[in-house]
Structure 1
Amino acid sequence: MDATPSTSGLSSPLKRRKLISLGHLSLNKKQSMINLYKQILTDQPKIKFTAVVSKIVTTMGIAKSTVYRTIKEYRSTGTVVSPKHSGGCPGLVKTFDETSKNIIRRIVHSFFLKNEIPTLNKILNEIKKNMDLQNVSHSSLYKLMKEINFKYLKRSRKSDLIERDDIVRWRYSTSIKRYRSEGRPLYYLDEK
């Protein structure tokens, strides 16, 4: 009979994490690191702290600085917390109030009244002339125009800025109602 060593007394090894930049550790990873830290300390109470850290690093595949930081957090507070997601700063589009959006909408409609095609550069120039929004960039204006329900069309390699069809129909129907209430004559063209 073959004398093969039995591994029933040993636990299976933890899956080694790659040592690449993966961002913050999840709460589960931090908790398993603390559990491993406690286990090493109970098994070998006289072990040096640097040896504990190196064992955790080799077992879990986590950077030394992260292990030090997590253990420091555990020692000071008694627990570990999940990483906080800051979410970044709010974009410029979110800082516009409704009056600013209405002013920009009026600027776009003024181009239509002058029978000009509104482009982002033209709108940006008008905004910088008329408003105190000197820090609006091309990309921020593009996002703002999408937020206030304008859309872009490319026609023969030239982009046009137009409003959604339902808004155009609504504006048309309100102007027809207004003309009828004023008693203006309405002429329909291209009807058979």
Structure 2
Amino acid sequence: MSAHLDDVSEMEIMDDTISPKRRNVQGKWIMSRQKNMIVNLYKELKLKNPNMPYKELMNSISQTLGVGYNSVCNIISEYKTTGTVKSPNKKRCKKSMFDKIDDLDRNALRQKIHGFWMKKELPTIDKILVAVNSDPALPNFKRTTMYEMIKKLDFVFTKRKRCSVLTEREDLLVWRQNYLYDIRKYREEGRTVYFLDETWVNAGDCVDKLRVDKSIRSKHDAFNRGLTTGATNPTGKGQRLIVLHIGSHKGFLEGGLLCFVSKKNSADYHDEMNGDNFHNWFESIIPRLDPNSVIVLDNAPYHSVRTERIPTSSSKKEFILSWLRSKGVVIDRPMFKPQLLAKVKEIKGKYVSYVVDNMAKDAGHTVLRLPPYHCELNPIELAWAMVKKNVKQNNTTFKIDDVRVLLNTAIERVTSENWKNFIEHVKTEENKLTEVDKNMDEIIDSLEPCILTITGETSDSSDV
């Protein structure tokens, strides 16, 4: 009897020392075995208490098993819908090499290809691969990766003789040639050309290389000499400032800076901006510009918000029909969706317009868009490089407020003389691209088209 009482007392002591329930770690995967336990408990409670309210039932399961309330609701909903539960798909989308490199590297790849045309030499994958991998400023690529990169940069292969000639997509060539013609025409007219762009500055940005006194043997030795071992670099990038500005040969436009702290942990700083934010900033900038000026910008989505929605292949048939009728198109017989989209394609060119372009036009200005992947044609990129270098060299606290002060100071140090030099450099790049297009045009025109034999007849490949 005494031994039994001792066992009971030990159990009571153990009960008093039981640790609290462990809850499932937030964000941790809930596998199918755990889900089945939740479903079984749901069935048990439902069987014992059929009149228990749904929320109370879900809350009871959540408290008993230590799983979040919303997770329990989702799992029970999944079971009711499918009749079973399964483990989540833990496979994550792997980023391609194209997504890992930045716009500057993409532009450098394009310039490598252009370099062959400058030398009047036909570029091939093998030649490009050697040129890129021998450049220490660029990452090394495998041949298959390089091929994919070139395709994503909108280069295409045109069949000529026994080999394929690597050229750029025809519409991009036209875009670039029109841009170069327009920018030169506007300069000859004496119009002020403004260039705008966004960038970012991290609170943890600092120079990678510092001068080191090799005579110092240790931190204690440095302390005794009254020296310092230098500021400790942060382990992460910290907070980020998103920066938007505009400038011309006169320098950065006074009052044109937009700077705010990033709220997203995204690798792409473009995620922070949207059409509304950009349009509000742009509206405040327009009165500060010289009369009849030109505004050069890239093709970020928030720069190209359309004034009206135009049907695409993903649009509903009813919307396509109503849009066509609103434009005066008569649909006098039943049509399938592809037929309607063909009609949209015929007339949509008349109705494609952008909010930014209309805002500028109403104020007497002109918007000019850079061709894709041609950041070397925007002198503000050189200004940003100068600003960031200044911030990195003087960043010692790695605090976002201090970095903002450094950023404002660095922007003020970019003079109109600096901007004139940047623009002159861009003009040199424009001349190079004109030479590339000229050489490409002459060489491809001199090559005989590929001759294919089909059903015993000889035909030009362009007609096949």
| TM-score of the superposed pair, with normalisation by structure 1 | 0.49
Q: Which one has more relative contact order, counting CA pairs under 8 Å at least 6 apart?
A: 2
Task: Flag the structure with higher strand content.
Answer: 2
